[in-house]
Amino acid sequence: MRFEPTSDQRQLQDLARDFARRELRPLALELEHGNEPLSRERLRQLGEMGFLGINVDQRHGGQGLSDLDALVVLEEFARIHPAVAFPVFESCVGPIKAIERLGNEGLKAQVIPRVCRGELTVAIAMSEPDAGTALTDLTTRAVAHDGGWIVDGQKRWCSGGGHAEGYLVYCRFDDARGSKGIGAVYVERDRKGVSFGKREHLMGFRGIHTADIFFDRVHVPADHLVVPAGSFARLMEAFDLERCGNATMCLGLAAGALEDAIAYVQERRQFGKPIVEFQAVQLKLAEMAMQVEAARLMIHKAVTAKEAEFPSVLLSSMAKCFANEMARDVCGKAVQLMGGYGYSKAFAAEQRLRDAWGWGIAGGTIDIQKVNIASALIGRRFQQRG
């Protein structure tokens, strides 16, 4: 058991931190105000520097490092802004890892190296208008046809919807009830029959496109099957890694908020002295620091204590739940400590608070993580239906 990063991880962290602060920090306000994702030029730059597919096998164009290495980089990028971290998230803990670990070799060769080079973005399409937390109620269908599949349905709350060139689509392959008929296919944006709804205007997540996706008799080749019917459990195992990524986005937001708050309270003077001299401020800083460090330890444990290829549902749900709640609280405290400046859009504090709230909804709500935790502790699933 070790609690300190290795020398290689420290070097990787320093590289990511220096690059993010030097190259990406100037973009943060631009992305926040313009509400557009990183440019293709920037994505290629991330690919050239090895920040995409950090934990993807070298055979598929990645760096071949560990999941923990990927999260170390993701935290540094998320400290700057979620929009600059999102390509790292999607390539290291999102749909690409599911395709790498579950998909066929032909699909991997077609998709993953391009993502690692920054030439392609892939998003995950899970939720539907009537299937969010109750994901096994999804109705998007994939029907065998002419050696491939015909996909019909609608997806909602897709982060990357309309912007990403490819989508990992959860769908139902047969009429088996619940999860038994569910698998996933890979669908390109430009396939005939794929269209998108208007872009959502969200409280946060600026610089990350979100839109509905519509599939109208979309033909998908046979080799675009990622997993067949009956593979819902495997998809959810892959999603346990994405939970750790979600938690790390929260960790980065909170760590950035703490860092800015520490700098601010030493500069801001009231009653003739820096406000850090007041005990009430000191107590808040201490609470924030403990929360951030506890979240980091839980996340790192989740991705290193795994016994199989993905983190366990227990540890990943604990890490996500704690980090989601922690980020909301820490970012809120940072706004309070910074007063009017914290509430101003000229500074990052209010943006971090808005984004922190969103990560506690995305990827499975805080409350559903608590249900997952209780289920894992008891050793059985609890029936949610009447």
Residues 6+ apart with CB under 8 A from 10: none
Element (H, E) at 374: helix 366-378
Task: Please tell me the pTM assigned to this model.
Answer: 0.95
- The CA-CA-CA angle for residues 94, 138, 228, to 5°, reads 65
Q: How far apart are CA 325 and CA 52, in angstroms?
A: 28
Strands (E) across 254-326 are located at: 269-270, 273-274
Per-residue pLDDT of the chain (386 residues; tens, 9 = 90+): 677 889 999 999 999 999 999 999 999 889 999 999 999 999 999 999 999 999 999 999 999 999 999 999 999 999 999 999 999 999 999 999 999 999 999 999 999 999 999 999 999 999 999 999 999 999 999 999 999 999 999 999 999 999 999 999 999 999 888 899 999 999 999 999 999 999 999 999 999 999 999 999 999 999 999 999 999 999 999 999 999 999 999 999 999 999 999 999 999 999 999 999 999 999 999 999 999 999 999 999 999 987 668 899 999 999 999 999 999 999 999 999 999 999 999 999 999 999 999 999 999 999 999 999 999 999 998 887 76
| Cα 345 → chain centroid | 24
In CATH, what class is 7-116?
mainly alpha
Q: How far apart are CA 380 and CA 386, in angstroms?
A: 17
CA dihedral for 178, 182, 187, 192, sign (positive or negative): negative
CATH classification number, 233-378, choose in 3.10.129.10, 1.20.140.10, 3.20.20.100, 3.40.50.1370: 1.20.140.10
Helix (H, G, I), strand (E, B) or coil at 21: helix
Residue identified by tokens 């504090």 is 349
| Residue-level pLDDT at 168 | 98
| Residue-level pLDDT at 307 | 63
| Residue-level pLDDT at 309 | 80
Neighbours of 304 (CB within 10 A): 15
On whether the CB atoms of residues 250 and 327 are closer than 8 A, the answer is: yes
- Sorted by where each begins, the domain ranges of the chain are 7-116, 122-230, 233-378
| Residue-level pLDDT at 382 | 86
Residue identified by tokens 């007041």 is 278
Q: What is the pLDDT of residues 69-81, one digit of tens each?
A: 999 999 999 999 9
Helix (H, G, I), strand (E, B) or coil at 159: strand
Strands (E) across the chain are located at: 122-125, 141-145, 148-159, 166-172, 182-188, 194-196, 210-220, 225-227, 269-270, 273-274
- The CATH architecture annotation of domain 122-230 reads Beta Barrel (2.40)
